[in-house]
Amino acid sequence: MAIYLSHTTALSIWLREGGWLVRDGVATRGGSLADSSASAREVEASEILQRGAIEAPVHVIVDTLVKRHVSRLLVPHLWSGKVPLWCFYKLSDGVFVSSPEFTVVQEASILDRIELAWAISSLCSGFRKHSRETTLWNTGFEVTTPITSLKNVERFLKFIPAEHGTSATAAALRFAVEGAASPPELALAMISCMPKRLGGYALPKPKLNQSIYLDETASRLCGKSTIYCDMLYPNKVVVEYDSDEFHAGSQALHDDRARYNALVSMGYHPIAITKNQLQNITSLDNAFRSIAIAMGKRQWNLDAYRAGQREDLLCRLLDRDGTLLEEAMGR
């Protein structure tokens, strides 16, 4: 018999353990849950609660109603029928965790579309927390390999029956982004492409951390052959997030100017968004107005009455206090 971890427990493992399963293993199970079993006694015996990312109650999936043993340690979910192959990773002997793509589909029945899009974006981004503290904002982060990709999630939906959350997941994918290297980048990219009715700026989805290969003239200007930009929009609009508005030292200022000049020489439109602008929705509105105009959207405008809604959405996506993460974890 085996324990199949799912839903918020699986999401907690993927978000909080930095995707080590992807680097160290391959998906091994799928097809049938006939050997699924879970009870409070089995969960305690497996010692999975000793892992820092797993906390009670533990979410699992089973294939029949008779195996659903609800307790303070256990939240069982019923999954009828077969599951696609390669849906689980082996966590330990007799314990498996849902793949990132399978986890996202499971969470579609629990999270709202903003939370689900944020969870997908986090799984598809290249940063992880340094510590096990709840907030991504205050504890620092490190660049790492994304756990999955939007294409992988989209491909997975084709193998799941429609009644199992595929519609909600497909809807969230429209707002999800991939390739962010920090929480502010993820928040800016998501709010830029979310519809105005949800508090977003309704711009095309940007490509994150894209490489721009410089021609000979631009290369001489900055001394590099390639520049990596935080966000690349249509019409050659480049948006950079500056975590420190005032750079320390003349060399840093020189490098920024050289980079700016190199981009301009190749027809790009570089626009900077500073950390201070993330604290003031009016300043951020003005920054995105400049982005829209640079993209050629002359008739683009914002509803002043939705400023509070945009500010609320930005605060959620930045997740400064870990609230969104904790909501996604089901607490």
Q: Which CATH class is domain 202-301?
A: alpha beta
CB-based contacts of 214, cutoff 8 Å, min separation 6 = 222, 224, 225, 226, 227, 262, 266
In sign, the C-alpha dihedral spanning 177, 181, 187, 188 is negative
* Residue at 86: amino acid letter: W
3-class DSSP state for residue 258?
A: helix
Task: Quote the strand ranges of the chain, DSSP E.
Answer: 3-5, 58-62, 74-78, 88-92, 95-98, 127-129, 141-143, 207-213, 226-233, 237-242, 269-274
**Structural domain spans, the chain:** 1-98, 202-301
* Residue at 210: amino acid letter: Q
* Residue at 69: amino acid letter: H
pTM for the whole structure: 0.88
Give the separation between CA 220 and CA 56, rounded to whole angstroms: 58
Cβ atoms < 10 Å from Cβ of 29: 20
| pLDDT tens for each residue of the chain, 331 residues long | 888 999 999 998 888 776 666 656 666 666 678 777 777 788 777 888 877 778 888 899 988 776 777 778 888 898 877 788 788 888 888 888 999 999 999 999 889 999 999 999 999 998 766 555 544 444 556 777 899 999 999 999 988 877 678 899 999 999 999 999 988 999 999 999 999 999 999 999 999 999 999 999 989 988 889 999 999 999 999 999 986 644 455 566 667 788 899 999 999 999 999 888 988 999 999 999 999 999 998 778 888 889 999 999 999 998 765 667 666 666 4
